Chain A
Amino acid sequence: MKRRDWLPALGQYAALLPFVLVAAFPLLWTFSVAISEDPSHMWHFPQSLWPHEPGLMWFSRVQAEIPIGRYLFNSLGISLGITIFSTLLAIPCGYALSQIPFRGSNALFMLLLLTLMLPSELAIIPNFLTFSRLGLVDSYVAVVLPGLASAFGAFLMRQAFQDLPQDILDAARVDGASEWQLLWRVALPQCRAMVSALAIFSFVQSWNDYLWPAVILKDRLKVPLSVGIFNDLTGPFSTSTSMVMAAIIVAALPVLIAFACTQRYFLGGDESAAAQRSAIGDN
């Protein structure tokens, strides 16, 4: 680094400091409380920001008293189910919207865009009534089904297929490939980056979803992590802050690790920018 660069760099880091404090302080505190076997300092500032008598005692308490493995397993199953099936449904839909001309194509696309801008939470009550009619309350089918037709996914895949070079597709058509073969053998391999971006976004979103599974699932052992941990930590175990914090770390760690491995999809590259921009109503 050249000498004249030092000063602005220092200024930049200094200006970042307050943001870092606000963003990092809750997580840092959580972590330090969770690994402190001695909880007496946890409400003292700033001593609470570093661990006292570090150890894993609270983690073993969590393991013994909260069925966290079961919650993790449920979360994994639900999120994988939603991610795989919603991506598989969105791909042909996006392909048809972008590559096959048909009447009403534009209107349908506008409809998808429109629903993206409406609060999806509004669907909770009607969907609950639908499933209670079908007798499917408290079933995994009911948790997964409403998340499968993702307008966001169809939209994203349409944009990806739209940007493909038309010559390649036409050449394959001339060679006699059916549209179905074209989609999976020619078009999709070129959109792999977008498919993975979509899959990661849907996984994170379904992993973090709280409200719908909380409404539709009744059995404590069926709920995903986001619901189970919230019910347990604000209910029976809320009095032991150390244990709450240890449970939080266990719940957050898989997500943070997954995020660290895939962060280029969130923080850089064209797919992420496109996906973020169009993630209307998806935060």
Chain B
Amino acid sequence: MARPGVHASTAWLFMLPFLLLFALFTLWPLLFNGWLAFHDYFIASGATAWNGLANFVFLAEDEQYFHPALLHTLVFLLVVPVLQLVALGMALLLRVNRPGIGMFRALFYSPVILSVTIGAVVWQQLLQPDGLVNWLLASLAGLPQHTLPDWLNDPRYALAATLVFYCWKYAGYYMVLYLAGLQNVPRAQLEAAMLDGAGAWARLRHITLPALQPVILLATLLATIAALKAFQEIVVLTGGGAGTSTLLVYAYYVGFYGQNFGAAGAVAFLLTLFCLLLARVQLRWLGENGLLRHGGVR
């Protein structure tokens, strides 16, 4: 709609400070990663040189570090279905308002609020070889304690432990999405089904889940992108050792410690392309005219 007396220049003036910072610290890094991916970069001298696809070849040949990192990132996608099941379960249990339900919601959300470093320090203690988790397992399963694993330092278990930590940290986030979605499940249908004698499972299967479909889709996409960029959670919990490094952990170490900024840029570039692909899907479903604009429902 035309707005008499309102000039486009006013809009740019309003946005100017934001756009300057946005360009410098959000857009420039994206472009710079793309540029780095095809260059050698020496931070000390500031010298650069075009090297074609050498950085990508370096990645493809780095069987010792890059290949496992790629594999671990794919394994990390396991958290996506697990998080959805746990979060949906919590949301279903917390849907009906009863005394104390608000407290449970707050409790389940509290790991999301806490800093990832705080969570990691607590779990490092819990997961020590003589830590509380092993005591719990020993007394529940009756196993002698010295046969139980050193969760965070044993390559056979460290990735699994990291996944559990990740789910503990973020399940509450997805719970809130599902709680919001559950408010839009048609009540009349649920009550009609109840009168017709449909059991809890039938109601979930035929009324609740179909109504939740858009939210499930949204939460799955968000969780997928989040899992692909799993990074801080790993750096603080295991430091990326014991077979837990992912793509971003690799990029971080190869850049800051290996001084190979080109390879780091190449990883970032590849991940950006992949996320852009996912974002395309996401925008189609959730963009301006998609579900996001309309509250995630219909």
Contacts and interface: CB of A to CB of B under 8 A. Distances in A.
Contacts of A173: 3, 5-6
A274 interface: yes
Given A122-B29, A122-B272, A125-B255, A20 B104 contact: yes
Contacts of B236: 210, 230
B228 interface: yes
Contact of A230 (B3, B98, B117, B218): B117
Interface stretch (A52-60, A62-70, A90-98): A90-98
A225 B117 CA distance: 10
B114 to A, nearest CB: 6
A35 to B, nearest CB: 15
Contact of A43 (B6, B130, B228): B130
B199 interface: no
B30 A19 contact: no
Contacts of A84: none
Interface in B203-223: 218, 222
Nearest to B137: A45
Interface string A1-45: 000000001001101100110111011011000000000001111
Nearest to A215: B256
A221 interface: no
B117 A229 contact: yes
B118 A29 contact: no
Contact of A272 (B94, B113, B176): B176
B104 A124 contact: no
Given A124-B252, A272-B176, A12 B292 contact: no
B70 interface: no
Given A93-B15, A125-B265, A19 B3 contact: no
B202 to A, nearest CB: 16
Given A16-B93, A89-B17, A259 B113 contact: yes
Interface string B87-125: 001100110101010101111111111111111111111
Interface residues of B, number: 107
B6 A179 contact: yes
Contacts of B228: 119
Interface stretch (B153-161, B185-193, B279-287): B279-287
A180 to B, nearest CB: 8
B51 interface: no
Interface stretch (B20-28, B52-60, B61-69): B20-28
A151 to B, nearest CB: 7
A101 B21 contact: no
A95 B110 CA distance: 33
A93 B275 contact: no
Nearest to A22: B168
Interface string A202-235: 0010011011000100000000011101100110
B28 A130 contact: yes
Given A100-B10, A109-B288, A276-B173, A211 B231 contact: yes
A233 B117 CA distance: 10
A248 B117 CA distance: 10
A89 B130 contact: no
Contact of B121 (A101, A120, A122, A234): A234
B235 interface: yes
Contacts of B94: 16
Given A92-B18, A125-B255, A207-B115, A118 B180 contact: no
Interface string A73-105: 000000000000000011011011101111101
A26 to B, nearest CB: 5
A231 to B, nearest CB: 9
B26 A259 contact: no
A283 B117 contact: no
B195 interface: no
B1 interface: yes
Contact of B229 (A13, A19, A113, A121): A121
Contacts of B117: 210, 226-227, 229-230
23 contacts: A12-B93, A16-B93, A19-B89, A23-B110, A43-B135, A100-B10, A106-B288, A117-B282, A120-B26, A122-B272, A125-B255, A145-B21, A149-B22, A151-B26, A173-B3, A208-B114, A208-B116, A211-B231, A215-B256, A230-B117, A245-B122, A256-B113, A277-B180
Given A26-B168, A93-B14, A211-B235, 17 more contacts: A23-B110, A43-B132, A45-B132, A95-B14, A96-B11, A102-B12, A105-B11, A118-B272, A119-B231, A159-B293, A248-B118, A248-B121, A252-B114, A259-B113, A273-B180, A276-B177, A280-B222
Interface of B: 1-3, 5-6, 8, 10-12, 14-15, 17-22, 24-30, 32-33, 36, 43, 86, 89-90, 93-94, 96, 98, 100, 102, 104-126, 130-132, 135-136, 139, 168, 170, 172-173, 176-177, 179-180, 218, 222, 225-226, 228-229, 231-232, 235-236, 248, 251-252, 255-256, 261, 264-265, 268, 271-272, 275-276, 278-279, 282-283, 287-288, 292-293, 295-296
8 pairs of A and B residues whose beta carbons are closest in the complex: A119-B229, A102-B8, A126-B29, A123-B29, A149-B21, A149-B22, A117-B279, A96-B14
